[in-house]
Amino acid sequence: MNQADITQTPKPRRKSRARVLSDFLGSMNLAVTLLVMLSIASVIGTVLKQNETTQAYIIKFGPFWTDVFNSLGLFHVYGAAWFVLVLVFLLVSTSVCVSRNAPGFMKDMKQFSEKMSLAALKHQPNNAQFQSPETLETEQARAVALLKHKGYKTRLHQRDDGSVTVAGLKGRWNRLGYLFTHISIIIICVGALLDSNLLLKYREMTGDLIPETRTVPLPEIPQTAWMGPENLSFRGSVNVPESQETDVLFLPYEDGFLVQKLPFNIEVKDFRIEYYDTGQPKNYQSDLVLTAPELDEPIAQTIEVNRPLYYKNYAIYQSSFGDGGSELKLKIHPLLSPVENALSIESAINKVEPLKTPVGKFRLELNDFRLFNMIPTTEQELEETGKKFHNNGPSIIFKVRDEQGKAWEYENYMMASEQEGRMFFMTGMRTVASEEFRYLFIPADAKRKKDRFFTFLALINNPIESTAVFRSDFPRGEQMSDETYELQIKLMQQLMSLYRTKGFDGIASFVNKNVPKEEQEKVLEYYYGQTSFALQSLYMKVLRDEGAKIDADQNISTFDQTWFEDAINAFNGLSKYGPPMYIEMESFRQIQATGLQITKSPGKDVVYFGSAMLIIGVFFMFYVRQKRIWVNIKPNEKDGSNTDIIVAGKDNKPLPETETEFNALVETIKQPLKPEKSEG
């Protein structure tokens, strides 16, 4: 066998790396995978609230899962590096797909395929063959007219064998559907990338961006936490008090925030808020004035919820409201002082005041002021007033922080409120933000003030005056020795000392530690009786100083008796109240602030355009059918007076009615021509 006789199989050509990469990027599998990843990310971003504080996430998920979710970028999913990377890959993949397939789609839109061979026509999904007694010219004209009547564009092709093919094309715009849907994905990805934080990620990678985590004044924030007008997109917020202005806002980022410089200035002329009877906000509005160097005149507009102010690519929304630095006049009552020496200070919300006390240094952080505090009414109040809610009056929320950083948060009400038919001043305290406030109820005196309470407390804290009261109210009996009398007075002093520190719990703790177990109950009962008698004696001193009417048997009014019991309950709770001071709000001047959310979204209109193109593309794809019909007409070789006809059809959407429509067309062509009626 000669070597020339050996048939050699040619080796397949290896694809170049560029071709392999192109095939991978333009593959359907990659596109579907990327779309699924984006869908999952969108679900996560919808279900999981984004851009909250780390502390809020720790409360919801715990430290472990918070670290896991944060490392995956799930708390900022739309700005996560992997999400942006998926967008970039989808953009590239779709672009490659369009560049490869667009020429073929465009060609297919213009191609009638009139030169298709007869064998190919016979292998179309729908085909039929029959003879007609009419001539070629007649059937050709008939086929052209019929297809045009059905909405087809037609084209003729004269074949070498003498036959003629009439090619019809309908629904060519279907191919635009494929192009529009793919191009729309590209446009949407471009818009999404414009609104992503690519610049922030780049600056963070280069070490030029460090979020600020401290609570410091604006001038003290370093430039590494500032963003300039070059930032393509952002969403941030800022609180602006009435009659003040701003040209910055704050962007939550990672575990801190960034300061975004604005190319315009916003002034809040006025802020208004309306409330429901329940105390919930009904509506709030802000009168804004926007000024910018490129504006001939400032833009003045009133915004409210769902009615923002638009300027270029910026949108300014009314998102919230709060305190704008209300001015307060406070009185600080020391709870361990033997005399009434309350300190008066003037401050404002969002300020920090240093406090020097005998028990250490503290900081008073004034956080919020509330003018209304609506709570449900009791059944009796509902019957009397007909209102389901009543206002507990103004309150302030503040923190007292020691030198080690431990903080106690308080909620103090300015006005006395009714509880079980008696009037109290409420003050709540907590040490953990996730906990509810634990309230201390200070009884109001007959003038609905706290004067009697703090006078009584100062007397309890004063061992010299209290001892004088004891000696006055406990005269030494004739049969009591001086030593026994002094021991009795000393015991009462010791009991009051224990009571001042931890109330009746302090006395019980002392007995449990120092008295044999079998005698504890008896001793505790005796100590409680002596302490109560001592407190009653001090209280009678307070009443006498007030000029209250007390008869010879030491009887007092029902109000004074009830007030004493409520005061003792309040004294027992002071040991758990935190630092020994009570902050009283004497007066205020409310200053409101509007909460503005400002967004810059240049990609928004791009995404809208892409979405509109996507809708059009989907419409073309699903509701426009591309249909082709070929009618080949050839003179019969045996009988030249007849013609052989081949009808073939193809529908890119083989629906159940496709075959019915094709058969109806064939039957129409088969029908003999009606003879023309002669005139007259």
> Please, which pLDDT band fits residue 551 given cuts at 50, 70 and 90?
low
Token representation of residue 18: 């560029």
Q: Where are the beta strands (DSSP E) in 191-233?
A: 226-227
pLDDT of residue 680: 41
pLDDT of residue 390: 78
Distance of CA 276 to the CA centre of its chain: 24
pLDDT of residue 255: 76
pLDDT tens figures, 465-496: 999 998 888 777 677 788 888 888 899 899 99
pLDDT of residue 4: 46
What gap in Å lies between CA 133 and CA 310, rounded to an integer? 74
pLDDT tens figures, 432-476: 988 999 999 999 999 999 999 999 999 999 999 999 998 888 777
Rounded to 5 degrees, φ, ψ at 187 are -65, -45
Residue 639: strand, helix, or coil: coil
In the chain, residues under CATH classification 2.60.98 are 206-324+593-601
Higher per-residue confidence, 297 vs 2: 297
> Mean pLDDT over residues 105-111, rounded?
87
pLDDT of residue 482: 82
Least confident of 185-189, 299-303, 602-606: 602-606
> Please, which pLDDT band fits residue 675 given cuts at 50, 70 and 90?
low
Token representation of residue 99: 């560049």
How much of the chain is helix, strand and coil, in % rounded to 5? 40, 30, 30
pLDDT of residue 473: 82
Name, in order, each residue with C-beta under 8 angstroms of 385's C-beta and a sequence gap of 6 or more.
Answer: 377
What gap in Å lies between CA 300 and CA 284, rounded to an integer? 17
Higher per-residue confidence, 73 vs 612: 612
Question: Does pTM surpass 0.85?
Answer: no
> Mean pLDDT over residues 588-603, rounded?
93
For β-strands 226-227 and 256-275, DSSP reports them as parallel
Q: Which CATH architecture has domain 206-324+593-601?
A: Sandwich (2.60)
Q: How many residues does the chain have?
A: 680
> Please, which pLDDT band fits residue 16 given cuts at 50, 70 and 90?
confident
What gap in Å lies between CA 546 and CA 557, rounded to an integer? 14
Name, in order, each residue with C-beta under 8 angstroms of 90's C-beta and a sequence gap of 6 or more.
Answer: 31, 34, 35, 38, 185, 189
pLDDT of residue 92: 92
> Please, which pLDDT band fits residue 144 given cuts at 50, 70 and 90?
very high
pLDDT tens figures, 322-335: 999 999 999 999 99
> Mean pLDDT over residues 26-34, rounded?
88
In the chain, residues under CATH classification 3.30.160.110 are 112-171+625-671
Least confident of 124-128, 303-307, 408-412, 652-656: 652-656
Rounded to 5 degrees, φ, ψ at 129 are -130, 140
> Please, which pLDDT band fits residue 610 given cuts at 50, 70 and 90?
very high
pLDDT tens figures, 620-672: 988 888 999 999 999 887 776 789 999 999 998 888 888 999 999 999 988 87
Distance of CA 559 to the CA centre of its chain: 50
> Mean pLDDT over residues 260-287, rounded?
90
What gap in Å lies between CA 257 and CA 211, rounded to an integer? 5
pLDDT tens figures, 384-400: 777 777 788 999 999 99
Q: Which CATH architecture has domain 112-171+625-671?
A: 2-Layer Sandwich (3.30)
What gap in Å lies between CA 536 and CA 402, rounded to an integer? 35
Residue 447: strand, helix, or coil: coil
- Comparing C-alpha atoms, which of 510, 540, 533 is closest to residue 523? 510
What gap in Å lies between CA 96 and CA 352, rounded to an integer? 60
Token representation of residue 381: 């109040």
What gap in Å lies between CA 49 and CA 42, rounded to an integer? 12
Name, in order, each residue with C-beta under 8 angstroms of 311's C-beta and a sequence gap of 6 or more.
Answer: 264, 290, 292, 299
Average pLDDT of the chain to the nearest whole number: 89
Confidence check: pLDDT of 410 > 90: yes
What gap in Å lies between CA 436 and CA 509, rounded to an integer? 28
Helix (H) or strand (E) holding 59: helix 54-71
Higher per-residue confidence, 151 vs 196: 151
Confidence check: pLDDT of 10 > 70: no
pLDDT of residue 6: 47
Residue 268 Cα distances to 236, 464, 598, angstroms? 17, 58, 14
Higher per-residue confidence, 6 vs 156: 156
